[in-house]
Amino acid sequence: METIALYVVAATLGSMVFFAAGIAPTVFQSLPEAEAGQFLRRLFPRYYLALILGAGIAGLCFAMTSPLAAATCFIIAGSTGWVRQVLVPRINRLRDAELGGDADAGQAFARLHRWSVGINMVQLLALLVLLVRH
């Protein structure tokens, strides 16, 4: 089961890197800002769902052989669920308010967006550590 877990971790990690380095920059280079934002708003829930599933499946596969790796994966899945269900809707509301002219909302948007990116980077690094250590 650990081999399966490592494949799932590798696939999840690869997805995260591809999204951050490939999809997101390409969207902003190819579409006007408003359309890029709308596209990513529709894509992010699917991205986060893929991360939840990947980390959750890896956690289940690690459960019998590596409790620490399993816990790491479950923390990643849970934190991604929180980002998807709580943080991203707040970020979207703040962005809409910023585009409507609310400068304070713009500052709050920037802060929460940095948090979401930071959380994603910590998750990416945790998966990378899991992959290298196993």
Contacts of 70 (CB under 8 A, 6+ apart): 59, 60, 62, 63
| Tokens, residue 63 | 């459960």
Please check whether residue 94 is in contact with residue 109, taking contact to mean a CB–CB distance below 8 angstroms.
yes
Domain limits, the chain: 2-133
* Over residues 30-53, mean pLDDT: 94
**Percent of the chain surpassing pLDDT 70:** 100
Contacts of 111 (CB under 8 A, 6+ apart): none
pLDDT at 33: 87
- Mean pLDDT across the chain, nearest whole number? 95
Please check whether residue 6 is in contact with residue 131, taking contact to mean a CB–CB distance below 8 angstroms.
yes
* Over residues 85-91, mean pLDDT: 97
The model carries a pTM of 0.92
Interval 74-83: pLDDT, tens: 999 999 999 9
